[in-house]
Amino acid sequence: MPASDHIKIARIVRVNHAGEFSAIRIYAAQILVSSIFWKPVAAELQDLRSHEVTHCDLFRSAMPDRQSRPCRTMSLWGRGGWLLDLLTALLGPKAIWTCTEIVEDRVHHHLSAQLRYLAKRDEPLHDLIASIQAEEEGHLSLARQHVGKHSTFSRMLAAPITAAVEAVIWLSTWDGSARMNRDLSGAGA
């Protein structure tokens, strides 16, 4: 395998690890707010957060074999995610699930592109990501169930939340996520 593929694979693991780290903080902020105002929502979110902790650990343990290290700007990613969701959670359960839907939808797209790339390049990582993606799909469909039909309110929230999520992703991986997307769109399957 060419050296450039090793670099791309190391970047995939780093960006995914940072993403899971951020997801843990995002859910922590939502749990903090909903445990005060909307307790049943907090219980559901607790479950999702526990999956993200496992995903984060799995990507961390996939790093050494791929000469990958945690993202240096990861704490910024985590803080950005925490603040984003603290603010949206204060708007109520509908906003919490709208934000969750947007975040999980982004995750789903990233993972699908990675799976196509990794299929013939790193089978163990491909299989790990496929199993994680199955759980992320569960998060996405749960969020979609709660959001239900998109209302004017959820549509109004979608644009600023999407922009904030993209900004947090870009900033916290210091362009690593954008470079990963360029890597994957330019690479054959």
Binding site for Fe ion (CB under 5 A): 20, 52, 55, 136, 139
Q: Is 103 exposed, middle or buried (0-12, 13-18, 19+ CB in 10 A)?
A: buried
How far apart are CB 43 and Fe ion at their closest, in Å?
16
Task: Rank residues 20 and 85 by Cβ distance to Fe ion and give the closer one.
Answer: 20
How far apart are CB 51 and Fe ion at their closest, in Å?
6
Task: Rank residues 5 and 166 by Cβ distance to Fe ion and give the closer one.
Answer: 166
Pick from 188, 74, 26, 162: nearest CA to 154: 162
How far apart are CB 136 and Fe ion at their closest, in Å?
4
Task: Rank residues 55 and 66 by Cβ distance to Fe ion and give the closer one.
Answer: 55
User: In this structure, are residues 126 and 119 in contact, taking their beta carbons and an 8 Å threshold?
Assistant: yes
Task: Rank residues 4 and 112 by Cβ distance to Fe ion and give the closer one.
Answer: 112
How far apart are CB 40 and Fe ion at their closest, in Å?
19
User: In this structure, are residues 176 and 15 in contact, taking their beta carbons and an 8 Å threshold?
Assistant: yes
How far apart are CB 140 and Fe ion at their closest, in Å?
8
User: In this structure, are residues 120 and 67 in contact, taking their beta carbons and an 8 Å threshold?
Assistant: no
Q: Which residue is nearest to Fe ion (CB)?
A: 55
CA–CA separation, 66 and 149 (whole Å): 43
Q: What are phi and psi of 165, to 5 degrees?
A: -65, -45
Task: Rank residues 81 and 176 by Cβ distance to Fe ion and give the closer one.
Answer: 81
